[in-house]
Amino acid sequence: MTQHLKHFIEGAHVEASDGARMSLVNPVDEQEYATAARGTAEDVEHAVAAARAQLDGGAWSRLGGAQRGLLLSRLADLVERDAERLADMDATAIGRSPMEPRMMDVPNAVANLRAAAGWANQIEGRTIPTGGYMGVRTLSYTVREPVGVVGAIVPWNAPLMITTWKVAALLAAGCTVVIKPSEETPQSALHLAVLCQEAGLPDGVVNVVTGYGEMVGRALCAHRDVAKISFTGSPEAGQAIQRIAGPLFKRVTLELGGKSPQIVFDDAPFEDAVRGCALGLFINQGQVCAAGSRILVQRGIAPRFAAALAEAAGAVTVGDPRQPGVQMGPLAKKAQFERVNRYIQLGLDEGARLLAGGVARPGRGWFVTPTIFADATNEMTIAREEIFGPVGTIIEFDSEEEAVALANDSDYGLAATVWTTHLARAHRVAGAVRAGAIGVNCWSPLDANLPWGGVKTSGIGREGGLAGALAYTEEKVVTVLLPS
């Protein structure tokens, strides 16, 4: 029998208020492997009320930072205990090899929770010297209070990891949450909520409402008791969220898409750069916000570099990710498959030279082979728009100034990599490129202690590190008159 997943609200698994369900499909064989509750506005109402009650005098509101930290620590241990299970959930949902979430997503989730366990006890105020009040001395201090109920809206490409970016930080800050996982990948968020209960978090602190963005996501954005929306996903959905949450003055963090450049200078460590560019293009089938999809290569080494990258693309084994030795599975969903193929055709139509891939695998499953285009320009659609698939576009440059100009000539600004052995150039370019995160001789390093987020169309705000937790607080000032 197909497994059925229900919401997790106030510590219990519940059906959608109208009993509706949605289908979860395995991208490898296009077969339904589970169903999940298709949430309604009423379900959101129920979950937000549970989350709010925990802040309004509930057990959670009475815990101090050290106690929240202890609970986060226990939660981290439980996630680590269930690592394989959680990795398999995320892998099945999007047709990814379980090795990737086992090696990256789950350890990252555990690290986020462990780091947040430390931040929970560092949510501090300040004492601020002032000029007094009407000639009388004053004492002014600030306190950091939890912002309130958070609506956490998550995409499908790295479900557990991205959920913990949000949940770890907001719990450290003392907030409560209603998680809206992607309609494609609700399983690991639901399991995380169950683990929160096992760790000892009071029921109602972490709730999950499964369903579609148009219904559940919108209802969260419009709900008057949701104080903050923490969103990761596409710029289009980010705009829709701003249209609703903006006029309601909700706090919003938006982690959006990218078209990240990898800048390869002629003095780059050649083999490392080829490997790093291939990783940045093909991990998770290229369905990564920070995918290094614009490869800017200095002209002198461009032919050799393009040939090496095409060879690396050709060496990737594509197939059923459950089979040993397979490095790349299918794209996560049909719409994604159609989107990526549309961009490949656009690349050909616009005159880029196809060096590798570019073909869909016949038969069942949404497979696209690793694809490299060369002789492209930064004006081509494949260089400007986020493809979110295993497609790299090589663009040549002559000088450092030109490389920086090309890197910055983009609507996006999430991440960038500089490949060079020239120390001063590495720092110069890192300073000049407009992006939230720059890697020097490494593609997109992630760490729970580092801030993550973008500029321009790549988003608003940062997650990660203590500052990421502080973003789930409001700073209140208290001034006490001290007459002598």
Contact set with ligand NAD (CB under 6 A)? 153-157, 162, 180, 182-183, 212-214, 217-218, 221, 232-234, 237, 240-241, 255-258, 289, 386, 388, 414, 454, 459
Contact 226, 48 (CB under 8 A): yes
Three-class secondary structure of residue 29 per DSSP = coil
| DSSP secondary structure of 174-191 | T-EEEEE--TT--HHHHH
Minimum CB separation of residue 96 from ligand NAD in Å reads: 14
Which two tokens mark 384?
Answer: 């400007």
Distance between CA atoms of residues 157 and 232, nearest Å: 10
Nearer to ligand NAD among residue 167 and residue 237 (C-beta): 237
Contact 339, 389 (CB under 8 A): yes
100, 183, 289, 463: which one is catalytic?
289
What residue has token string 């202690």? 449
Minimum CB separation of residue 405 from ligand NAD in Å reads: 24
Measured between alpha carbons, how far is residue 7 from residues 43, 208, 283, 427 in Å?
A: 8, 6, 31, 48
Distance between CA atoms of residues 403 and 380, nearest Å: 16
Nearer to ligand NAD among residue 220 and residue 426 (C-beta): 220
How much is the CA Rg of the chain, to the nearest whole Å? 23
Minimum CB separation of residue 289 from ligand NAD in Å reads: 3
Amino acid at 199: A
Best CA proximity match to 71, nearest among 39, 101, 114: 114
User: At CA 87, angle to CA 85 and CA 89, rounded to 5?
Assistant: 70
Minimum CB separation of residue 92 from ligand NAD in Å reads: 17
255 is catalytic: yes
Distance between CA atoms of residues 116 and 122, nearest Å: 10
Nearer to ligand NAD among residue 231 and residue 265 (C-beta): 231
Distance between CA atoms of residues 116 and 181, nearest Å: 21
Nearer to ligand NAD among residue 202 and residue 217 (C-beta): 217
Three-class secondary structure of residue 149 per DSSP = strand
The number of beta carbons lying within 10 Å of the beta carbon of residue 444 is: 24
Distance between CA atoms of residues 14 and 37, nearest Å: 8
Nearer to ligand NAD among residue 69 and residue 389 (C-beta): 389
Three-class secondary structure of residue 482 per DSSP = coil
Minimum CB separation of residue 459 from ligand NAD in Å reads: 6
Measured between alpha carbons, how far is residue 21 from residues 15, 169, 185 in Å?
A: 9, 31, 14
78-102 b/e with 16+ CB inside 10 Å = b? bbeebbeebbbbbbbbbbbbbebbb
| Enclosing H/E stretch for 480 | strand 473-481
Nearer to ligand NAD among residue 154 and residue 383 (C-beta): 154
Minimum CB separation of residue 461 from ligand NAD in Å reads: 10
Which two tokens mark 421?
Answer: 């052995």
10, 184, 255, 386: which one is catalytic?
255
196 is catalytic: no
Nearer to ligand NAD among residue 217 and residue 392 (C-beta): 217
Minimum CB separation of residue 380 from ligand NAD in Å reads: 19
Nearer to ligand NAD among residue 288 and residue 360 (C-beta): 288
Minimum CB separation of residue 437 from ligand NAD in Å reads: 10
What residue has token string 């109602």? 204
The packing angle between helices 65-81 and 106-119, to 10°, is 170
Q: Which residues are catalytic?
A: 255, 289
